[in-house]
A and B are shown apart, each in its own frame.
Chain A
Amino acid sequence: MRRLLLLFLFVLWVAPLQAAIEAYEFESVQMEADYKKLINELRCLVCQNQNLSGSDADLAQDLRRETYEMLQAGKSPQQVVEFMVERYGDFVLYRPQFKSTTYLLWLGPFLLLLLVLYLLVRRLRAANKPVEVDAAAMAEAKLLLEDKEPGK
């Protein structure tokens, strides 16, 4: 089983880390920008953690071609994304969709920030209320201070 798994990984991990360069021609600057954004935000499934633009894996090449051809055929970037998600699931998106399972992901940090700021302000306010100083404790502190200081 172990050996099989290794074989399997070997097949998956044929993708070397190197630039994937293809000389696609674009009809418009907008289309080129859309293409670049898409291949930067779509994940290469067989790779370790790379987007389509960063991988030379076979499947990445195919999916870049698919992306390019869909854009050439007049599809919108959103349609390309839907095409990919239909086939490969949410895993292909480096920009997770905003939906019930990702509310925490997208909103969590901002909620945390608000919570922390609120707690901080409340605590500082509470701490800064005038405190009644225990006269005895103060006197003791003074004594301690004097005790400590002579060495200096």
Chain B
Amino acid sequence: MNRFVLPLAVFVLMVGLLGYGLRLDPKKVPSPLIDKPAPAFSLTMLDDPSRQLSTADMSGQVWVLNVWASWCVSCRAEHEVISVLANRNLVTVVGLNYKDEPADAARWLKQFGNPYATSVIDRDGRVGIDWGVYGVPETFVIGADGMIKYKHIGPVTHESLEQKIMPVLKELLS
């Protein structure tokens, strides 16, 4: 081993890194909120503006928070999958209607079907900021202890539902 081999060695390391990097998605930012208490909110329900839902109401149970909006194209794509999850009646699925017009949101639910136990309105996106939402849709799994256990960024597919979300839910529910 002499010093002339050094550049080659550094290069090999770098290629390894770059090759590995190709398999990563630079746009997916892991949430620092995992295993932290779910940020509290108390928001108006979309289906009944006279009532509020707060995180405290959900304590003691495992639940799912799905961030959606009627203007979000890929929310429509994951709508079917969220419905599958809701129909299994394993957990309560709450929708966070993010930066949307309530009228548009209601129309959207009517048109495609409402998978949510209820949806709450985050009109100006402040709760979204507290939850670290940066791209809609996003899906959170919250444990009975009120901790965020899992976060899915982007549309949930059948594949990611079965392979990522269901195992987390099963473990929490067992």
Q: Is A106 an interface residue, CB under 8 A from the partner? A: no
Measured between beta carbons, the chain B residues less than 8 angstroms from A62 are 124-126, 128-129
Which A56-110 residues have C-beta < 8 A from chain B? 58-59, 62-63, 66, 85-91
| Cβ-defined partner of A4 (8 Å) among B74, B99, B124, B125 | B74
A58→B74 contact, CB < 8 A: no
Given contacts A12-B27, A85-B32, A87-B33, contact A1 B134 (CB under 8 A): no
Measured between beta carbons, the chain B residues less than 8 angstroms from A9 are 27
Q: Interface code B64-89, partner A: CB below 8 Å = 1, 0 otherwise?
A: 00000000111001000000000000
CA distance A86 to B39 in the complex (A): 11
Given contacts A45-B29, A46-B135, contact A1 B73 (CB under 8 A): no
Pairs A–B under 8 Å by Cβ, sample size 23 = A1-B159, A4-B74, A4-B155, A5-B154, A7-B73, A8-B155, A10-B73, A10-B74, A11-B135, A11-B136, A45-B134, A45-B135, A46-B135, A62-B124, A62-B126, A62-B128, A62-B129, A66-B126, A66-B129, A87-B32, A87-B129, A87-B130, A88-B32
Q: Which residues of A contact B (CB under 8 A)?
A: 1, 4-5, 7-12, 45-46, 58-59, 62-63, 66, 85-91
Lowest 10 A-B CB distances belong to which pairs? A45-B134, A87-B132, A89-B32, A7-B74, A91-B29, A8-B154, A8-B74, A12-B135, A62-B125, A88-B132
Q: Which residues of B contact A (CB under 8 A)?
A: 27, 29-33, 72-74, 77, 99, 124-126, 128-132, 134-136, 154-155, 157, 159
